Amino acid sequence: MKSVVPQPSPAVVLLAKQLGQRVRAARVRRKLRQEDLATKAGLSRTAIEAVEAGKLTTGLGTYLQALWAMGLTGGINVVADPGLDRDGLALELDAQTMRVHVGGAVDNDF
């Protein structure tokens, strides 16, 4: 029996491609060849190619190494920052204001 591998959503594929394009643009602006960035990041040239292609099978660490080597990790701290998650904060506040329904009479007879 073949195992079914779920396909990533088109939105995720697009985000990965856009990130790859941004990494490539940053590398080109710095006048670095893929080999130069790979050496600086401690990666292979094929790893840099995969990052720039936005391949979803490329590990997060590889993306982070490439960004670090170009001094572009500052913005990573805002990705999924709980303090900036408006929907999550709204849900949390909504859950805190919900009342608890007690199911019956409380027996305080000790």
The CA distance from 106 to 10, in Å, is: 53
Mean pLDDT across the chain? 90
Read off the DSSP letter of residue 70. T
- How would residue 106 be classed by pLDDT, with cut points 50, 70 and 90? low
Question: pLDDT class for 64, splitting at 50, 70, 90?
Answer: very high
pLDDT band at 19 (very low <50, low <70, confident <90, very high): very high
Q: Quote the pLDDT of residue 14.
A: 98
Q: What whole-number distance in Å separates Cα of residue 95 and Cα of residue 83?
A: 17
Locate the domains of the chain by residue range.
10-97
Q: Which residue has the higher pLDDT, 90 or 24?
A: 24
Cα 60 to Cα 31: distance, rounded to the nearest angstrom? 24
CATH 1.10.260.40 fits 10-97, yes or no: yes
Residue, of 91 and 14, whose pLDDT is higher: 14
pLDDT number for residue 59? 97
Mean pLDDT along residues 80-107: 77
